[in-house]
Structure 1
Amino acid sequence: MIEYIGFVAASLTTLSFLPQTIQIIKTRDTKSISLVMYIMFVSGVALWLTYGMYKGDKPLIFANTITLILSSIILVFKLNEVFGKK
């Protein structure tokens, strides 16, 4: 039962990135997001994924794999905006 709760929580928090990712892909507008925050966030998510894999925690692995993909897409768009590659 507790793992089910973990998967539901992971799904909700992970899927919250989907609308923002879609919006940024469509508009290519990342001016209002912080580069430093996204670098820190993507790094933290990568570490959580590593931790989840080490512990064998399926909800952590599930959530952080998807979150890492979605937030990395946003980070790439932000880096392109900051460094002039459009």
Structure 2
Amino acid sequence: MEIIGFIAAFLTTAAFLPQVYKTWKTKDVSGLSLPMLLLFFTGIVLWLIYGIQIKSPSMIFANCVTILSSFLLVYFKIKYAKK
């Protein structure tokens, strides 16, 4: 079962990375909602805690990478937001 988890982790994490890259390159954060990003970040932190509790390597791996990615989007949204 864990192999299915790793495949899912790879696909969902990989799907998120182009948005991070595009935002970093263009510095355009107009399409990003800060409340949504904060809710998403909080949810991923909770998924990580859950993954640690059930000792699921795939959940731990995926959520660690996604926490970093979503944190970067929150950072970019704050840094590049029009004043």
When normalised by structure 1's length, the TM-score is 0.90
Letter in 1 for 2:46: L
User: Aligned residues: percent identity?
Assistant: 41
**Aligned pair count?**
83
**Map of 1:45 onto structure 2:** 44
Alignment of 1:10-49 (within 5 A): 10-49=9-48
Instruction: Output the CA distance in 1 between the equivalents of 2:62 and 2:82.
Output: 30
Larger displacement relative to structure 2 (29-38 or 74-83): 74-83
When normalised by structure 2's length, the TM-score is 0.93
* Structure 2 alignment gaps of length 5 or more: none
Instruction: Output the CA distance in 2 between the equivalents of 1:82 and 1:29.
Output: 8
Letter in 2 for 1:73: L
Give the C-alpha shift of residue 81 in structure 1. 3.1
**Map of 2:73 onto structure 1:** 74
Give the C-alpha shift of residue 79 in structure 1. 1.6
Instruction: Output the CA distance in 2 between the equivalents of 1:52 and 1:83.
Output: 37
* Structure 1 alignment gaps of length 5 or more: none
